[in-house]
Structure 1
Amino acid sequence: MTMPSPVPWLDPLLIVWFALTALSVAYVAWDAFTRNPELKVMKWGWLLVTLYGGPIMAAAYVLSCQEPATQRHEDFVRPLWKQAFGSSIHCIAGDATGIIVAAAITTALGLPMWQDVIAEYVFGFGFGLLIFQALFMRDMAGGSYWEALRASFIPEWLSMNAVMAGMIPTMVVLMSRDMAAMHASSLRFWGVMSLATLVGFAVAYPVNLWLVGVRLKHGMGTVRALGHGGHGMAAEKAGTAPMSGMEHKAIAGMASIAEGPSATPAQIVAMTVLTLLALSAGIIVATIGGRWTM
């Protein structure tokens, strides 16, 4: 049974929010699948994060990924901050999907919040790593799933720590104040998940900015430069018609994106410590402001 909201105007506000979300998803889906030369996995990534983040993520799509009429996509997405947006979107699309599915299941089972959060971390990390990273991006690792899994493990783990550093306190604190938000049948549950996803994205973005900058993660690319599988247009063109000057320019542009220093082992350890500290801080905030046993 749905409990009365401690904030009477919350449900009408959520109805408006999700109506705008539906419009945002429709717009991003139309533009991504009919006009944007991005890789297919990124099209689906943007669609999922817009479903979770509504008009805010639709605005992020327009600002960082939508191909302008006067500029090629490869040139438009070349700045590092846009590359980091693409990396964060890819991360959130996988992790948040796993987290939200796990939350819907564990709340239906009536598990306490601390077990709920553990399940969300495990399921979110597993779905993000095994599906969105290793499976969908295996072509970038030469077609090898296991090589993609190996290369993705550390950067995905660092991203996941940051995502949960933002999502855990948001979910625990808000659900502790509104028990109806603990049920997936409630509009407030989905409102909390939407807000938690946005906070998780905000916390994870600086980490992804660093990961892309040191070439531990990819940013955004296009099928014109990378081929449909993301493994390189040159590979797809081998043995066929020669590449056009425009395609050569696209590949050169994406190659310039990949330039930059690589991370040292000490730097990776340092970033690991920072993400674990951020995750610990999120847990502390959740402990102070919420309840783990509800």
Structure 2
Amino acid sequence: MQTFLVIWFILTAVSVAYVAYDLMVRTPEMKVMKWGWVVVTLYTGIFGLITYILSCREPSPGTHEKFVAPLWKQTVGSTIHCMAGDATGVIVVAFITALLNLPMGIDSILEYIAGFAFGLFIFQSLFMKDMLGGSYAEAVRKTWYPEWMSMNFVMAGMIPVMIILMTGDMRNMEVKSLRFWGIMSLASLVGGVLAIPVNWWMVKNKLKHGMGTERVLGKGGAKENNENKMGMDMPGMDMKATDKGVNHSMHAAKTGDNMKRMDMNSYVSLKTKITVAIISIIVLAIGISAAGYWGDFSMKPQDNRPMKMNKKM
């Protein structure tokens, strides 16, 4: 296991370096998504790199708009954006609570709060506020629902992985151990996969953004020149493909305004939103129940009690 983890983290370092370099010199992704890809690749290693190459990396100059146009790639971008914020909050708190020797149940509650807060108030509202109209308060209002939906599914995957594996072997709770960070990587990967369906639904119904190109949408909402506003005069660009990709999650800005902004207006009914919210809560409850059955929420990192998994076996 130790050898496997060493190899895993070496590959992770190489993957992060490649993604960061490619985004810096080649692929014109929005700035916020550049950070998102780097962070998520740090958590998911070689899987993040493969996903990046298949869904985001520009194949040749001027083709990014067309390349990211399909709905499934827009969905991947949406999931990456949510994972970057949610998983960061979760992992930071997991590290702190392990050092403080807090019970896993308290740890899980704090992780949920931190993941949601970091995802909503930083990665969603702060980094995307210009594309949502420029007002931070308005950005929070428009993004709290999609962030909450993503968070519930992410945590439905992360909580059982962390609780079951960490309480199943006390060595996995030690923050100085590669096992601890390996579990964080696995939990992030499982949480991200579980969040894909709800992100597909939200992107399809314009409740959440997908991937974009900075020369069309700006660097996370930054001002642009008029000639580049709609992606014109860019060699090799397919405007039909560009429009198709952008319209999966965004509309054009107001006439005469040099700012491209996301249009989060959706025709999804309140009843449908409530139904999806209930489903997300049920899925989260299933994840928590699995964690409680096969793991132990009361266990602390420095406990010497028999492990719950061993007792059930």
Aligned to 1:95: 86
* Greater share of helix: 1
Aligned-residue offset at 1:133: 0.4
What secondary structure is seen at the aligned counterpart in 2 of 1:252? Answer: helix
The AA in structure 1 aligned to 2:276 is M
1:252-263 equivalences in 2 (<5 Å): 252-258=243-249, 262-263=267-268
- Alignment partner, residue 143 of structure 1: 134
The equivalent residue for 1:269 is 274
Per the alignment, residue 225 of structure 2 pairs with 237
In structure 2, C-alpha distance between the alignment counterparts of 1:115 and 1:95, rounded to whole Å: 17
How many residues align? The count is 282
User: 1:241 offset after TM fit, Å?
Assistant: 10
Take 2:229 and 2:203, find their aligned partners in 1: how far apart are those partners? Answer: 33
Residue 248 to residue 69, structure 1, CA distance change in 2 (3 Å): closer
Task: State the distance in 1 between where 2:230 and 2:273 align.
Answer: 41
Q: Structure 1: which amino acid aligns with 2:268?
A: A
Q: Once the 2 structures are TM-superposed, how far is the Cα of residue 71 of structure 1 from its aligned partner?
A: 6.8
| TM-score, with length taken from structure 1 | 0.90
Rounded Cα–Cα distance in structure 2 between residues aligned with 1:113 and 1:240: 51
CA contact (8 A) 1:42 1:90 kept: yes
Deviation, 1:183, is 2.0
Q: Does residue 209 of structure 2 align to residue 215 of structure 1?
A: no
Pair 1:28-2:19 in alignment? yes
The equivalent of 1:112 in structure 2 is 103
1:225 touches 1:254 (CA, 8 Å); kept in 2?
A: no
% identity of equivalent residues: 52
Cα deviation 1:81-100 (Å, max 9, x = unaligned): 10000000000000000000
The TM-score with structure 2 as length reference comes to 0.85
Partner of 1:291: 296
Counterpart-to-counterpart distance in 2, 1:101 and 1:144 = 28
How has the CA–CA distance of structure 1 residues 268 and 236 changed in structure 2, closer, same or farther, with 3 Å as cutoff? same
The corresponding residue for 1:5 is none
CA–CA distance in 2 between the matches of 1:291 and 1:243?
53
Shifted more, 250-259 versus 108-117: the winner is 250-259
Q: Where do 4+ consecutive residues of structure 1 move more than 4 Å?
A: 238-243
Consecutive unaligned residues in structure 2, runs of 5 or more: 252-265, 300-313
